Amino acid sequence: MADSILQHQLEKLAAERYPLHMPGHKRHIAPAPGLGCYAWDMTEIDGADDLHEADGILAAAMARTAALYGARRCWYLVGGSTVGLLAGIRALAPFGSEVIAARNCHKAVYHAMELGHLTAHYLTPPVDAAFGVYGSVTPAMVEAALTAHPRARCVILTSPTYEGVLSDIALIANVCHMHGVPLLVDEAHGAHYLPFAANYGWQGGAVAAGADLVVQSAHKTLPSLTQTAFLQLNGDLADPDEVERQLDVFETSSPSYPLLVSLDGCTSWLASDGPAAFARWRERLERFSAAVANLQHIKVMCFGRDTLADHPGFFAHDSGKILLQIGADGAAFLRAGGFEPEMVCGPNVLAMTSPCDNAYTLDRLADVLHAWDEQNAPTPPAHLLPAPGNAAYTIAEALLHPAREVLLADACGETAAEYIWAYPPGVPLVAPGEKITQEFLDACRALDAAGTRLHHSVGKNGRCIAVL
């Protein structure tokens, strides 16, 4: 059972004093039936510390988490990994500077580049032919980019990706540090890569690998409330004072104490129950892999007969992510079988697992997949991601220009004035300032035909795109 020192302190404060302060429910009226955490929903009163100037109970909680991960510093985030990415990038890359970024980063990275008027030099990983997802960024790619762009202030990568593809962060960190450049890793989908997790098959976490700033969504794979995340710091290339200043800019000044308590409780659970839970998680995943080995029509990335060797563009794969090539019809069959997948994007359907899954959940999933397989369900073809068009402007420059709307069908050769992405995973298919290619338009048509809704940052008419 998770235990939170922070929660105990809040309960003590709540018992001792009547709240002549926010929030308005006064710990007396539950905002919703059954919402018990309102009893310790407080503000920054005496004894509760202050997230933006932590020197008491919150500082101690974050120190416990840093020690668990082996980081120099840890900050609790109540605005998700988005806040950590915005603050971390701004702390490393001053306004108007240059950065090197993987092209498959989450849209929050693009928003950070937009707000900071940054010039991005992109690293575009290879696209896996079997599943149509981005592969790994290689150390050689990073070395070449740093050599070509010596004024770059940081390197920004995602590992693992939404689909579970990892890059060799240890070697990449070494390359960055040889150039005196910090590495920021979006590890939103890899908060489970703790030091002890390496004993159970989860090797390659960015903190242990030496990345300078690591952003992790605790809520994605660990027992913590939605919207909670960690920002971890290593080494001396990232200034902790500047990180704190930027967190003060981007994060709410009224952080939720129930969210903070869930991060502290998650840390406690990991320290006490984590090893046993991770051992069970590994056993369940291995049992699932064996159970799907004889599927005839369904592809499961890096499970069953599909191995890491079948994906030469992958450095490694996070086995906690189960990527199924079953399309929208297969996803509907999963729902009918009692499962709601994390993502349906074109032919790919993502099932996310965690150490908190029920004992026989993956056994039941294998049974449903066999039932779908026995219907001779056709394997949908992979949709290959489009290579980005050349950037005529930085993102910020493009957004400052007047824009007009044209039909997507007529947009080839134009310059985009907006983002378009499938969410999830939230990786822009095109970004402001990039040339619109026929490859991009073909990908949009294929995704639309597969029932995947594309999101536009400007236009609301899905048949049009804003251009310069």
Question: Is 383 domain-assigned?
Answer: no
Q: Which domain holds residue 166?
A: 5-269
| Number of domains the chain is built from | 3
Give a yes or no: residue 175 inside a domain. Answer: yes
Q: Which pLDDT belongs to residue 33?
A: 83
- Sign of the Cα torsion 393, 394, 395, 399 reads negative
pLDDT at 2 (0 to 100): 61
Residues 67 and 185 in one domain: yes
Q: Provide the β-strand partners of residue 258.
A: none
Please answer whether residues 381 and 357 qualify as being in contact, where contact means their C-beta atoms are separated by less than 8 angstroms: no
Domain boundary among 243, 269, 295: 269
The reply to whether 179 and 218 lie within a common domain is yes
| DSSP, residue by residue, 374-443 | TTTPPPPPP-PPPPPPPBSS-HHHHHHS--EEEEGGG-TT-BB-S-EEETTT--EEE-TTBBP-HHHHHH
With tokens 């929208």, the residue in question is 328
Where among 240, 269, 298 does a domain terminate?
269
Euclidean distance between CA atoms 452 and 461, whole angstroms: 15
Q: What is the CATH number of the domain that holds 347?
A: 3.90.1150.10
| Chain segment 300-331, per-residue pLDDT in tens | 999 999 999 999 999 999 999 999 999 999 99
Domain edge (last residue) among 269, 287, 317: 269
The answer to whether residues 110 and 219 belong to one domain is yes
- Same domain? For 187 and 79 the reply is yes
- Are residue 263 and residue 279 in the same domain, yes or no? no
Q: Give a yes or no: residue 190 inside a domain.
A: yes
Q: Indicate if 137 and 239 belong to the same structural domain.
A: yes
Q: Give Dmax over CA atoms of the chain in angstroms.
A: 67
Is residue 29 assigned to a domain? yes
468 residues of the chain, pLDDT tens digit each:
467 899 999 989 989 988 878 888 888 888 888 888 888 899 999 999 999 999 999 999 999 999 999 999 999 999 999 999 999 999 999 999 999 999 999 999 999 999 999 999 999 999 999 999 999 999 999 999 999 999 999 999 999 999 999 999 999 999 999 999 999 999 999 999 999 999 999 999 999 999 999 999 999 999 999 999 999 999 999 999 999 999 999 999 999 999 999 999 999 999 999 999 999 999 999 999 999 999 999 999 999 999 999 999 999 999 999 999 999 999 999 999 999 999 999 899 999 999 999 999 999 999 999 999 999 777 777 777 888 899 999 999 999 999 999 999 999 999 999 999 988 888 999 999 999 999 999 989 888 888 888 999 987 778 899 999
CATH number, domain with residue 435: 3.90.100.10
Which residue in 110, 157, 139, 140 sits closest to 391, CA to CA? 110
Does some domain include residue 60? yes
Do residues 188 and 247 both lie within one domain? yes
Residues 131 and 256 in one domain: yes
- How far, in Å, CA of 125 to CA of 134, rounded? 6
Question: What is the per-residue pLDDT for 31?
Answer: 85
Question: Residue 268 carries which side chain, given as an amino acid letter?
Answer: S
- d(Cα 12, Cα 443) in Å, to the nearest integer? 56
Residues 201, 86 share a domain? yes
Give the Cα separation of 431 and 238 in Å (integer).
Answer: 28
pLDDT digits (tens, 9 = 90+) for 186-207: 999 999 999 999 999 999 999 9
